[in-house]
Amino acid sequence: MVGIGAIAGAQALGRFGQGRSQVNMILFGLFGLGAGVFLLAVFGHWLAALVLTLGFGGGATCVLVSSQTLLQQETRPEMMGRVSSTSASIMTATQLAAFGGAGSIAGWIGIRNLFLAGGALLMLIALAGCGYWRLNQRSRPDSACGQDGVHDASRVMKRPLPCDPLSALLEWPS
């Protein structure tokens, strides 16, 4: 089911992600993954798991595709190999640490509480990222964010994009 969600997520990302910041899409995916994990612990039923794993695939696609796109856009060509391998190494190391630590923590607090805490932590990280991104964009003098809070590059679009990810997520196109 995660694979089906990933395919659907890739299609949705291609359609609805156009003109959106890669950072917005990463934060949206992280929040979606956290909400899915949290809701899985709340409902704890196999039907909920079936539906939520579709969402996991979509959220993972948002995070992975957008982060790789951002990495490629922001890295100088001569540094691409080093940056890509370092990024992959960091992801592998954190996954190994999470797998090792999750078993111990689950034994201590229980699997359901681990899922609740993990989902809440992912959502908190996404919201903190939104706040950091918003503050960072407004404090940079070279920012493309205009005084009215609309991204300058989006002025040629039919619908201007807000500079902060939280507003962008709340104004998802129909």
The verdict on residue 168 lying in a domain is: no
pLDDT tens for 77-88 read: 888 889 889 988
pLDDT value for 147: 54
* pLDDT recorded at residue 146: 54
* pLDDT tens, residue by residue, 24-45: 888 989 999 999 999 999 998 8
Residue 144 lies in a domain: no
Q: Is residue 21 part of a domain?
A: yes
- 90 domain-assigned: yes
Q: Work out how many domains the chain is built from and give that number.
A: 1
What is the structure's pLDDT at 115?
92
Residue 97's domain spans which residues? 2-122
Residue 96 placed within a domain: yes
Give the pLDDT score at 174.
38
CA terminus-to-terminus distance, the chain: 25
pTM (whole model) above 0.75: no
Torsion over CA of 53, 54, 60 and 63, rounded to 10 degrees? Answer: -130
| Segment 40-71, tens digit of pLDDT | 999 988 888 888 888 888 888 888 888 888 88
- Nearest Cα neighbor of 63 from 96, 92, 34 is 34
Please name the residues in contact with 34: beta carbons below 8 A apart, sequence gap of 6 or more: 118, 119, 120, 121, 122, 123, 124, 125, 126
Whether residue 157 is contained in a domain is answered as no
C-alpha–C-alpha distance, residues 121 and 102, integer Å:
14
Question: In this predicted structure, what is the pLDDT of residue 159?
Answer: 47
